[in-house]
Amino acid sequence: MEKNTYDVIVIGSGPGGGACATLLQKRGIKTLLIEKNSFLGGKMVSIEKDGYAYDLFPHGQVPTRQPVFEIIFQELGVGDEFQPTLLPNDPRDMITICYRRRDWKQFRRVSQPQAMGDSTPFFRLWDIDEAAQQKTLAFMTDVVTMPDDKLADLDNVSMHEFISRYDIPYELYSYMAMHSNASLAEPIDLVAASEQILILKQIMLQGGGGQYKGGFATLANVLIREFEKNGGTLIRNTKVDRIRVEDGAVTGVITPKGTFNAPVVVSSAGLQPTVLKLVGEEHFDRSYVNYVKGLAPGWGFTSVRYFLNKPVMTTGNYVAYSDDSWWNMERFLKVKEGRIPDEVTLFMVNHCFFDPEAAPPGKQILVSGTVCSPNPEAKEIEGLWKRMDEHMVQLFPEIWEVTERREYSGPREISNLTRDSVLPGYGGECVGLGQVVGQCGRMKPNPSAPIRGLYYAGADAGGAGMGTHQAACSGMEVARLVGHYLNKRLKAQ
Ligand SMILES: Cc1cc2nc3c(=O)[nH]c(=O)nc-3n(C[C@H](O)[C@H](O)[C@H](O)COP(=O)(O)OP(=O)(O)OC[C@H]3O[C@@H](n4cnc5c(N)ncnc54)[C@H](O)[C@@H]3O)c2cc1C
């Protein structure tokens, strides 16, 4: 084969691109993987610095049992290396949920082992009577037993609309609204019920909140190690500037390190950046360009990392919310106008719970986050950081005395590290394109682009479920599609 010529070029080493490239190479397809950063893993980047090992952004795996990464590791022959740091039968209290009803002065909290199907701790937390408990159980039973074909009927129904079909206590509605922010970075009145229910089912039946030793990037590191071991070529620190298209088919990519040729390019740089910037509008039909421009971005997620010289948190995950802290569209728009709410919801990961070596002895690292706009230029982010800090003191009064250092990040950093902002207000998406009504399930963007040999892998196209799982599912699906395409091409030659 000619120098710089491959069967497939994959752009990006996040869970979508990483899974796709690794599976293609394992199946004997000569693949080049190009990553713009020095590190691997995209948004699931993990850092090892000054004795700490942590995710730059707070991550938890859903489902814990049989996430798609486990299936991929098995195909690669390294199934025994798939070692989540939380076993399904771990008896320790893993998650603390902290809640304040509107008419309460104080937050109440409850801790429990890995998030599964037991509603009893929630009944204690919400302090609801027997009748409300029965209504909650009836709703949750419908959710957990919902067959896949019924789930697909809810692609075009928002979670708010779905819940409104039931007579449920407000405490359950409030929890579901918080959950749509926490698990999907979406508002309850836009998120597709099919997506949220899928995630709820997975948490209840297969567990949720898992982590990996060394952080989530461990997954990418193993995948790409296998990729290279199987003969794949990885180029880091190199940004793809253009995807070349001739006569309606891709022919390769252009980078500062030269031009690379392939009849297939799989991009996980984001669907909109791929179409509007890397390929260019001129190569697509106007109707497709308009469709792509009209796709709604998911929300962003802004984080604060607390480096502590003494532990303050005992469980692995922590969620603190109130009836006033979750965001629906109305609250989101108020924040966009600059009205910072008094309270924010906090989602936290304590890496030391999952891996005692994640911090130097006697120390702790907490990665905390809350939802925000995906706009890299959003002005309200600093106001949200302030609220997050204030809320941390409420939850852990001793925290400032033991804080050695804090780091703040938001949609600007997410965009810089992962996808370019090619439309005003886009780029800092936490998951990818919104998992909202009209963009999910059967209506999710197709991973095959209307240009021969061009595919999108990752959270924007194909796949379903929570961020990393969804993106890796998409990577797996695209590897299959590309295999078929290359076979057909070979037969036609
Ligand atoms: C704060 C935060 C919290 C999250 N919490 C969770 C969670 O709890 N659970 C969960 O499952 N998911 C979570 N997610 C979401 C999850 O990380 C993403 O959905 C997932 O990483 C998306 O994968 P991807 O492969 O589509 O894209 P990405 O992870 O964004 O990877 C894209 C890759 O492409 C590279 N790239 C882009 N453009 C180019 C170019 N031109 N040339 C070369 N390389 C390029 C980027 O550098 C990057 O490595 C969270 C994300 C954030 C930001």
For residue 37, give the ligand 1 atom closest to its CA.
Answer: 47
Helix (H) or strand (E) holding 64: none
CA of 368 to the centre of ligand 1 (A): 18
Residue 87's pLDDT is what?
A: 80
Q: Which atom of ligand 1 is nearest to the CA of 239?
A: 42
Give pLDDT tens digits for 37-93: 999 999 999 999 999 999 999 999 999 989 999 999 999 999 999 999 988 788 899
The residue whose CB lies within 8 Å of the most ligand 1 atoms, and thus the one to mutate among 32, 43, 260, is: 43
- How many angstroms does the Cα of residue 238 sit away from the middle of ligand 1? 17
In this prediction, residues 16-29 reach a mean pLDDT of 98
Distance 43 CA to ligand 1 centre (A): 3
Cα 292 to averaged position of ligand 1 atoms, centre (Å): 19
Q: What is the share, in percent, of the chain residues with pLDDT greater than 90?
A: 94
Alpha helices in 359-466 (DSSP H): 381-395, 399-402, 411-417
pLDDT in tens, 308-330: 999 999 999 999 999 999 999 99
**Structural domains in the chain plus CATH codes:** 8-83+214-296+432-492 (3.50.50.60), 116-206 (1.10.405), 300-416 (no CATH)
Ligand 1 centroid, distance to 55 Cα (angstroms): 12
Dihedral over alpha carbons 328, 329, 332, 334 (to 10 degrees)? -110
- Which contacts of 172-176 are long-range, i.e. CB under 8 A and separated by 24 or more positions? 172/126, 172/132, 172/135, 172/136, 172/139, 174/99, 174/101, 174/321, 174/323, 174/326, 175/99, 175/122, 175/126
- At residue 244 the predicted structure's pLDDT band, cuts being 50, 70 and 90, is very high
State the Cα–Cα distance between residues 92 and 69, nearest whole angstrom.
Answer: 24
**Which amino acid does the sequence have at 273?**
P
Residue of 44, 415, 422 best suited for mutating to test ligand 1, as the one with most atoms within 8 Å of CB: 44
The pair of three-digit structure tokens given for residue 290, joined into one six-digit string: 């308009």
Give pLDDT tens digits for 415-448. 999 999 999 999 999 999 999 999 999 999 999 9
Given the structure tokens 């532990």, which residue do they identify?
Answer: 311
**Which amino acid is located at 343 in the chain?**
E
Please name the residues in contact with 141: beta carbons below 8 A apart, sequence gap of 6 or more. Answer: none
In degrees, rounded to 5, the angle at the alpha carbon of residue 421 between the alpha carbons of residues 227 and 183 is 70
Q: Could you tell me what percentage of the chain is helix, strand and coil, using 3-state DSSP and rounding each to the nearest 5?
A: 40, 20, 40
Mean pLDDT is lowest, of 114-123, 174-183, 406-415, for 114-123
Question: Distance between CA 180 and CA 299 in Å, rounded?
Answer: 11
Ligand 1 midpoint to CA 16 (Å): 8
Residue 260 has pLDDT above 80, yes or no: yes
CB-hemisphere CA count at 13 Å for 192? 27
Mean pLDDT value across residues 459-478 = 97
**Ligand 1 atom nearest 431 alpha carbon:** 19
Predicted pLDDT of residue 115: 63
The mean pLDDT of 480-485, rounded to a whole number, is 98
The atom number, within ligand 1, closest to the CA of 414 reads 53
Ligand 1: which residue has its CA nearest to atom 5?
59
Find the mean pLDDT for residues 100-105.
Answer: 96
Q: How far is the CA of 446 from the centre of ligand 1 (A)?
A: 19
Instruction: Measure 164 CA to ligand 1 centroid, in angstroms.
Output: 33
Lowest mean pLDDT among 86-90, 168-172, 272-276, 402-406: 86-90
CA of 67 to the centre of ligand 1 (A): 17
CB count in 10 Å sphere of residue 293 = 14
The pLDDT of residue 1 is above 70 = no
Of 35-44, 85-94, 118-127, 255-264, which gets the smallest average pLDDT?
85-94
Lowest mean pLDDT, pick from 86-100, 182-196, 281-295, 419-433: 86-100
Mean pLDDT to the nearest integer, 262-270: 98
* pLDDT confidence of residue 116: 66
Instruction: Compute the average pLDDT of residues 305-309.
Output: 97
Strand, helix or coil for residue 381 = helix
Residues having CB closer than 6 A to ligand 1 are: 11-17, 34-37, 42-44, 57-60, 239-240, 268-269, 301, 303, 369, 414, 418-419, 430-432, 458-459, 466-469, 471
Top pLDDT among 149 and 251 is at: 251
pLDDT of residue 42: 98
Task: Judge whether residue 249 has pLDDT over 70.
Answer: yes
pTM: 0.97
Ordered alpha helix ranges (H), 337-380 = 351-354
Measure 418 CA to ligand 1 centroid, in angstroms. Answer: 6
pLDDT in tens, 329-384: 999 999 999 999 999 999 999 999 999 999 999 999 999 999 999 999 999 999 99
Q: Could you tell me what percent of the chain has a pLDDT over 70?
A: 99
Which of 299, 416, 468 for mutating ligand 1's site (highest number of atoms within 8 Å of CB)? 468
